[in-house]
Structure 1
Amino acid sequence: MEQDEGLKRSIGVFGLSANIVNIMIGAGIFALPAIITGIMGSASIFSYIFCGILITLIVLCFAEAGTKVNNTGGPYTYIETAFGDYAGFIAGVFASGSNMIASAAVANALVNILMTLHPVFELPWVRISFLFIMYFSFAFINIKGVKQGIGLIKLNTILKVSPLLILVIFGLSQISTDNLHIETLPELSQLGESSLILFFAFLGCETGLIVGGEIKNPKRTIPRAILISIGSVVVLYILIQTVCQGILGDALANYKAAPLAETAKVILGPFGFILLIIGAAVSMFGNISGDVLNSPRILFALSRDNVIPIKQLSKVHSKFATPHIAIITHTLITFVLAVTGSFEQLVILATASLLLLYLGVACSVIKLRKTHNAEPGEFKIPGGKLVPLLSIGIIVYFLSNLTLKEIIGTGIFIAVLSILFIIITKMKSKMND
């Protein structure tokens, strides 16, 4: 594994924690409470607990793998180091592609939110112009330096979390305990269906760790930042669902467009509704800025390791010490997806791709323990292989809830990537001859 020459290690515990929280708290939590209530009823809290357990197990795997392999690239780098170029290629494309799709979907959700505030955003040229200015402004900021990018992330994180905390703080005292009473336990099929959807709101830790080559003292910073950020998000999500359900009861399922804003309207009146609508827009805005900071590093890492034969993507700007070509390339592709796609398209495929990526990280922890010589200060998950094996089992259960069509589609995608890998490998072999 080549080192990340030219990149500066300038991200500390707070910066990395904010980066992870910013990515995780995106569009999902502002819409999913109503959908989960529609499936689970008053037992919705079980889905949050189940997803919270899974994400905790997974991030422990990330924490150990991240201290063993702390180059730029995040989960792609862990899997490539453990299992070689083929697995790394599949993981890298899955990570990069799913991040682009997810970011484009959130961008469309952001435009939809803005349409509720002003109809001018319904005009196609306004929508395209807004997306272009937003994406390439973020690209410019992140090319200027990772400190500037992380500074924007910290601000976005504070702005997006503040209205959620206001909702929780003022809502807890107005909860009706009757709305939280669980009459019957959910069926396993309901738990699987709701958790597969809800888990979209928990995605993002892997993206926040892509900047591994720019993290100060990664053996200490990565585990601390992961545990702080994940713990905070899980607790906040559970409190949000409790408040929304405690205030609106079964009626929560009827407000699929903006359940948090409708809850805030009951608590704080029209001001609360506007506050949460703006909060949702800021949250999506921050999620997209986080994607432009983090995701281009996957293209950088794939090029750095010669997994894809485009060396320009691994160039580092001589003045700003950032992977400027990778940032521009990622931003351009994501902008095109945002302009041509919609929020609903490919969301399940993106989630399935990331679950497969998580599966690879859990497996890589077991492999890296055998092949990697432990160094002083490295984080190691207690309990031997229990946590990675539990992670593998739960991820497989989640994936089993995909429809046959989605499973076939994912299989075809992997087959196409495998053929592409063979072609690229032969091309590189001829170039070396």
Structure 2
Amino acid sequence: MNQLARRLGVPDAVVIGLGSMLGAGVFVVFAPAAAAAGGAGLLAALALAGFIAFCNATSSARLAARYPESGGTYVYGRERLGPFAGFLAGWGFVVGKTASCAAMALTIGAYLWPGQARPVAVAAVLAVTAVNLRGIGKTATATKVLVGLVLAVLALVAVTGVPDVSADRLGAAGGSAGGVLTAAGLLFFAFAGYARIATLGEEVREPERTIPRAVPLALGLVLAIYLVLAVVAVGVLGADRLAASAAPLADVVTAAGLPGLAWVVRAGATVAVTGVLLSLLAGVGRTALAMARRHDLPGALATVHPVRQVPHRAELAVAAVVILVVALGDVRDAIGFSSCTVLVYYAITNAAALTLGRDPARRLPVQVLAALGLIGCLLLAVNLPLSSVLAGFAVLAVGAAWYALRPRR
């Protein structure tokens, strides 16, 4: 048997989506986004990133219901646009998200033990991989615990900071239109986790019903949480202090006169990033599984464990690469790099969704949303910091060259 078991319902799928998104935006991305767009511009950029993510979520949900198997846009691109489009999407996802996994692991190390960040990061990758190898049911259960703890910490920050929100700080002038686009591209990194629901499509019960419900629900909940915390962060710290902060939400609590709670927020950040890492590794492993099944990656990675029913070889291979990057590489620019490759990934998602035609069963103008998502993804991708754009498109070009030369082997 080489198929994955369908064990996830709507609540489990929503929780995995929340676990993939909560953390990255709140604890990592707000500061560089504020530096690019300013305070008011940050809120505009967040709304723009959320809208484009919604367009992408609509397209992803339609495609995932049509093709309920692991792999996400790698599968959709192959089926709707051709093998090369699928390969490019899968390559961009695996490479970009592997860098994200390394960044998340190093963030855990930096919060827990700054002087030994790399060894702690390696230990985090090993621990999370061990959980994922026990089965997707264990992943969903662990993610529920992590999400509950993170929501409690974020609620603490919001309640603590709201009384000190200043209308003057919120009303301060924002950045340029280009700065807002750059910030939106960076903030998109915080929303990309909803695709984890689609990449786990082969393990979802009644995918044609579950996925279209779970994806927008998870995205809507996260957008509401991000907007509240963005208002609190800008209103308490101001754009300049927020842009310079290494731990914005901890600084919000400190600025509100409760520095003793900062350690709670730091612990919450560690928990949040662990949840992101847990779901990221699961999603990347399943995309690698889908690519290996079609011989776009080594066929040995296509094996599913006969008892646990997880792609154990793919997950171990991804974990090994992440540990190598953690041990040797500098992934401080991983957010921009990952955003670039993932935005291209979703551009292909929307292009694939456009080929589905109109959907009479949906009230939303799904074709218009797919077109807006395609344009928005490309616009945000090219407006990221230049180094991120160059690195992202260079990696995509390397993948395309390998794909073109592969038949000669």
TM bucket (normalised to shorter chain) is: over 0.9
SS at 2:256 equivalent? helix
Moved more, 336-345 or 71-80: 336-345
Structure 2 runs not aligned, ≥5 long: none
Distance 1:170 1:147, change over 3 A: same
In 1, the alpha carbon distance for the partners of 2:43 and 2:384 equals: 22
Return the match for 1:40 from 12, 37, 42: 37
Tell me which residue corresponds to 1:336: 324
SS at 1:204 equivalent? helix
Matched to 1:241, the amino acid is: A
TM-score, normalised by the number of residues in structure 1: 0.87
Return the match for 1:282 from 266, 271, 291: 271
Return the match for 1:365 from 353, 377, 381: 353
SS at 1:99 equivalent? helix
In 1, the alpha carbon distance for the partners of 2:18 and 2:407 equals: 37
> C-alpha deviations, 1:55-83, integer Å up to 9, x for none?
11111111111111111111211112112
SS at 2:8 equivalent? coil
CA contact (8 A) 2:33 2:182 kept: no
Distance 1:275 1:408, change over 3 A: closer
In 1, the alpha carbon distance for the partners of 2:255 and 2:352 equals: 48
Q: Percent identity?
A: 22
In 1, the alpha carbon distance for the partners of 2:31 and 2:87 equals: 37
> C-alpha deviations, 1:15-71, integer Å up to 9, x for none?
111111111123332143333333433313111111111111111111111111111
1:268 to partner: Cα distance: 5.8
Distance 1:9 1:273, change over 3 A: same
In 1, the alpha carbon distance for the partners of 2:308 and 2:400 equals: 36
> C-alpha deviations, 1:69-127, integer Å up to 9, x for none?
111111211112112222222211111111110110111122111235xx4x26xxxx3
In 1, the alpha carbon distance for the partners of 2:34 and 2:22 equals: 19
> C-alpha deviations, 1:160-181, integer Å up to 9, x for none?
2220112113322332323222
Tell me which residue corresponds to 1:431: none
Matched to 1:155, the amino acid is: V
CA contact (8 A) 2:75 2:290 kept: yes
Tell me which residue corresponds to 1:253: 242
Tell me which residue corresponds to 1:23: 20
Distance 1:333 1:405, change over 3 A: closer
Tell me which residue corresponds to 1:400: 382
Bigger Rg, structure 1 or 2: 1
Distance 1:384 1:18, change over 3 A: closer
In 2, the alpha carbon distance for the partners of 1:12 and 1:404 equals: 41
TM-score, normalised by the number of residues in structure 2: 0.92
Distance 1:12 1:344, change over 3 A: same
Distance 1:408 1:237, change over 3 A: closer
Distance 1:297 1:181, change over 3 A: same
Distance 1:320 1:420, change over 3 A: same
SS at 1:295 equivalent? helix
Counterpart check, 1:14 vs 2:11:
yes
CA contact (8 A) 1:47 1:194 kept: yes
Matched to 2:238, the amino acid is: G
1:270 to partner: Cα distance: 2.4
Tell me which residue corresponds to 1:171: 161
CA contact (8 A) 1:261 1:273 kept: yes
CA contact (8 A) 2:108 2:124 kept: no
Structure 1 runs not aligned, ≥5 long: 428-433
